[in-house]
Amino acid sequence: MASSQGKNELLFADWMAALPGSLHSTPLTNLAIPGSHDSFSFYIDEASPVGPEQPETVQNFVSVFGTVAKKLMRKWLATQTMNFTSQLGAGIRYFDLRISTKPRDPDNELYFAHGLFSAKVKEGLEEINAFLTEHPKEVVFLDFNHFYGMQKCHHEKLVQMLKDTYGNKMCPAIFAHEVSLQYLWEKEHQVLVFYHSPVAVEVAFLWPGQMMPAPWANTTDTEKLIQFLQASITERRKKGSFFISQVVLTPKASTVVKGVASGLRETITER
């Protein structure tokens, strides 16, 4: 069993390199590429402040109940159990990234955030880069789609961080249909960065956010989710961009209240 599992992990870690030659020149927009939602949330820190994007009701809830409130929040905010390296080893190639400044942070660092703060962005990017260096034919999609408490100087800092970490591994923005594995391998590119901010227009290696649309079903009903995905996938294929099928159920406030001590896994994920 252990030997078989090891072989599977090896296969998933290099699945792009192992694809048949007939797919090497196929546009990546035509391939189904596995990704993760709130990819960084395995690192969510219960000791951190509440994120600046949270409504006043949540802020007040935490101010009253403190650590207990944050432990309950984590059960609903952590959508992943594996770190970046483990996700990459399991075959994940798309990462959903949400970036925030932290109030009263003397180091003025950038953090991944989803309700509570997670790891430092720099550490996460370096972890992904280490995998790419060991697996030179694998390609990742980094989708920076939410920014909290960030001003121009913070975006400049993040752009420089990407340059310093990935350098020539990043593929400049071109027409989506031109991007194939063969093209990327020839150019020695391994990273496509999608950036949902006007800043993307100013930087050659940032792909505009509209090139990676992500319609959201926003439902707790599995049948409605399936109908939404089926209806949207045909329409999005016509647009000549990459796109995301969010196969996720989203808890409502009433869902959380009813299962406040249970958490996301027991209440939603098992559906």
For 67-100, the pLDDT digits (tens) are 777 888 888 889 999 999 999 999 999 999 999 9
Q: What is the pLDDT of residues 91-134, one digit of tens each?
A: 999 999 999 999 888 888 999 999 899 999 999 999 999 999 99
Domain 2-210 class, CATH top level: alpha beta
Q: In 3-state terms, the chain is what percent helix, strand and coil (to 5)?
A: 45, 15, 40
Is 24 one of the annotated active-site residues of the chain? no
- pTM confidence score: 0.92
Helix (H, G, I), strand (E, B) or coil at 145: strand
The domain ranges of the chain are 2-210, 212-270
How much of the chain exceeds pLDDT 90, in percent? 68
Instruction: Quote the CA–CA distance of 121 and 162 in Å, as a whole number.
Output: 10
What letter does residue 113 receive in the DSSP assignment?
A: E
Q: Around Cβ 202, how many Cβ atoms within 10 Å?
A: 11
What is the sign, positive or negative, of the torsion defined by CA atoms of 215, 221, 224, 230? Answer: positive
Active-site residue flag, 114: yes
Among residues 114, 135, 154, 189, the one annotated as catalytic is: 114
Helix or strand or coil: residue 217? coil
